[in-house]
A = this chain, B = another copy of it.
Amino acid sequence: MNGEPRRNVRLLIEYEGTAYAGWQLQHDRSTVQGAVMRAIELALGEKTTVYGASRTDAGVHARGQVANFRTASGLAAWKIGHALNAHLPEDVAVLEAGDAPAEFHSQFMAKGKHYRYVVRNDKYRSALDRAFCHLVRGDLDLDAMQQGARRLVGTHDFRAMATQNETKKNTTRTMRRVEWVKHEAYLHLEVEGDGFLYNMVRTFVGTLLKIGKGGLGPEDIPRILASKDRRKAGPVAPAKGLFLMKVEY
């Protein structure tokens, strides 16, 4: 027997990442994990660790982050949700709170994730969506971008599409969906896969936008992946266009 309470609470969390240095706790910077842990302390009087499914990067948003924590509280889960919302800053919100099996772990048990990247392709900037999209001016060859996206689907070694400093040994991941969906002036890249390397979705976007501008062709994608060389891919697209939409278990 150890000192950790057995009750396991699962949260669905939404946040605007603009003001945060990402999900993961840092001792000197504001993070979403830190905000949730502080809210638990204020609401339930317990210092505890919250585990998140995805360590979203600075400035990245979430519509569907999943987190869990242990508590000795006897409060009904939906009341815990309200209590946390009362103590969370307004740019972080609990959307659902429920009891989970004792063995549930949001990060290690995640089977897949869905990310969306929002590009605004317009002459002028937006006021209402300024924090939620990446503005790209000028013509984009969406057909070529779609062909490039299709070549990212499947099981590949994505080392060339991660950060240059990727330390993971196994960089092979499976993408079930990489697809552009057009909504008027907005282009959404919908990405669903079993796991993601650091900066991977944003590198997909930077590379596909380079294809859209004619700087690369869709047929370059297999060549870039095979090279395993980060320098062959396009730039990392800005964080503010990226949303963690859903975590699958």
Contacts and interface: CB of A to CB of B under 8 A. Distances in A.
A14 B128 contact: yes
Interface in A78-114: 78, 81-82, 85, 90-96
Contact of A130 (B91, B122, B123): B91
A96 B82 contact: no
B125 A85 contact: yes
Nearest to A126: B93
Interface string A226-242: 00000000000000000
Contacts of A16: 127-128
A90 B14 contact: no
A interface residue count range (under 10 / 10 to 19 / 20 to 34 / 35 or more) = 20 to 34
Contacts of A78: 123
Kindly report how many copies of this chain are found in the complex they form together.
2
A130 B130 CA distance: 15
Nearest to A15: B127
A125 to B, nearest CB: 5
Contacts of A82: 124
Interface string A120-156: 0011111110101000000000000000000000000
B128 A63 contact: yes
Contacts of A96: 124
B15 A92 contact: no
A14 B63 contact: no
A124 B14 CA distance: 11
A127 B91 contact: yes
A38 interface: no
A22 to B, nearest CB: 15
A91 to B, nearest CB: 5
A82 B124 CA distance: 7
Interface in A35-77: 61, 63
